[in-house]
Amino acid sequence: MFSNFVNQFWPATVDGLSLGAIYALVALGYTMVYGVLRLINFAHSEIFMIGTVAALFTVTKIGVSAPLAGFSLLGMLVLLAVVSAVVSGGAAVVLEYVAYRPLRRRGASRLAALISAIGASLFLQQLFALTVIPRLFDRPQEGGRLPVQSPNWVERSDAISIGDFVVRNDKLLIVIAAVLMMLGLDQFVRRTKLGRGIRATAQDPETAVLMGVNIDRIVTATFAIGGAMAGVAAALYLMRFESTNYFVGFLLGIKAFTAAVLGGIGNLRGALVGGFLLGLIELYGSVLFGSEWRDVVAFSVLVLVLMFRPSGILGESLQRARA
């Protein structure tokens, strides 16, 4: 068992980090919306799914004839990230308008918003399975419930190779992109006017209104940013797996939400820490106990952490983030 751990340590670490990076980016959406509205946006997993579909559609339409490497791969990735960030961000804003804003206006309880979130999640999944995916990819025969593949567009090669420590280019890109996005977002929330508005609303919505903050605009911005992060995650996901399906957000959404809680929900840096940690625990757990124990190990660790630190590892929330 432990000899396995020794000789699979580096591959497991690399895969854990690249998986965790995607968790972290999706977790940002959960954590931001929670920080501002105290709402668990369960339909966020579908925002991610929409992003993967948008990226897949784009790469199919562009029609890549041979796998890309080097700068053309990077360029394609940036293009896909922009497209799916716009689509996912837009979808998140529409979601907020349709599923949450009417409830908020009428002062509905948070539980009602939660049910609305679950409803929206189911609605989007089935909508994509029944009409959007079959139409977008012209699959009247197979329907929308089977996975859709993109052409092979990623040339995979080893970017770093030092003895046992081998990192493939796509995995490296995922980790770098996630950390960069995270740093950018962190600075944005700390330094810009909109970021200050987000923090103010998270801290005390009523006082924020008195200080001239337009809450509706802040909420829209929060959903847009969270959605855009999920869109970037979707583009990275597509680079790694070159395939998606209508159900892709489900398990990944649960994991990302878990990562958000693990790091401290409402805390941006917590999402990154939680994501990387969850990815690593999953991979180390499967090396030690077998892949079927992957989720058992991950969730056991989550329970243990929450027992001793109920507010997550970093705990501190968006509202108290210092300027």
Partner 1 sequence: MRRAFPRGLVAAAAASALVLSACGNSDDNGGGGDSGGSQPASVKLGFMGDLTGENSGIVIPPKNGAQMAIDEYNATNPATKIELKTYDSQGVPEQATALAQQALNTDKIVGLIGPAFSGESQQVGPILEEGEIPSISASATNATLAEKGWKYWHRILPGDRIQGTGIGEFISRAFTAKKVFVIHDNQDYSKGIADFVTAALKDKGVTVETDVIDPKASDYSSTVNKVKPANADAIFYGGYYAQAGPLLKQLREAGVKTRFLSGDGSLDAGLAKGAGGTNADGAVVGCPCLVDPTGVSNEASKKFSEAYKAKYKTAPAIYSAEGYDAASAFIAAIKAGKTTPKDINTFLSTLDQPGVTKQIKFGPNGEPAGGDVFVYLFKGPNYTLLGNSKDAKVG
| DSSP state letters, 26-89 | HHHHHHHHHHHH----TTHHHHHHHHHHHHHHHHHHHT--S-B-HHHHHHHHHHHHHHHHHHHH
Minimal distance in Å, beta carbon 8 to partner 1?
A: 5
Q: Does 138 bind partner 1 (CB under 8 A)?
A: no
CA distances from 128 to 125, 136, 233 (A): 5, 10, 19
- The structure tokens listed for 76 are 């394609």
Q: Does 286 bind partner 1 (CB under 8 A)?
A: yes
**Judging by DSSP bridges, how do beta strands 158-162 and 148-149 pair with one another?**
unpaired
Q: Does 114 bind partner 1 (CB under 8 A)?
A: yes
Contact string 256-275 vs partner 1 (x = CB under 8 A): -xx--x--------------
Query: Among candidates 124, 100, 121, which has minimal Cα distance to 112?
Result: 100
Q: Does 109 bind partner 1 (CB under 8 A)?
A: no
Among 28, 31, 37, 42, binds partner 1 (CB under 8 A): 42
- The structure tokens listed for 301 are 């660790």
Torsion angle (degrees, nearest 10) of CA 314, 261, 78, 171 = 90
**Which range, of 5-13, 174-182, 224-232, 311-319, touches partner 1 by CB under 8 A?**
5-13
Q: Give the residues across from 149 on adjacent strands.
A: 243
Residue whose CB is less far from partner 1, 202 or 262: 262
Q: Does 187 bind partner 1 (CB under 8 A)?
A: no
Task: Return phi, psi of residue 213, to 5°.
Answer: -85, 130
Say how far residue 288 (Cα) sits from the centre of its chain: 27
Minimal distance in Å, beta carbon 97 to partner 1?
A: 22
Q: Does 198 bind partner 1 (CB under 8 A)?
A: no
Q: Does 12 bind partner 1 (CB under 8 A)?
A: yes
Kindly state the number of chain residues that form the binding site for partner 1, as judged by CB under 8 A. Answer: 53
Q: Does 132 bind partner 1 (CB under 8 A)?
A: no
Question: What's the CA gap between 228 and 181, in Å, rounded?
Answer: 10
Question: What's the CA gap between 129 and 46, in Å, rounded?
Answer: 12
**Which range, of 10-18, 87-95, 97-105, 196-204, touches partner 1 by CB under 8 A?**
10-18
Residue whose CB is less far from partner 1, 199 or 257: 257
Q: Does 303 bind partner 1 (CB under 8 A)?
A: yes
| Interface residues toward partner 1, by CB under 8 A | 4, 7-8, 11-12, 15, 19, 40, 42, 114, 118, 121-122, 125-126, 141-143, 145-147, 149, 152, 156, 168, 237, 240-243, 247-248, 250-254, 257-258, 261, 282-283, 286-287, 290-292, 294-295, 299, 302-303, 306
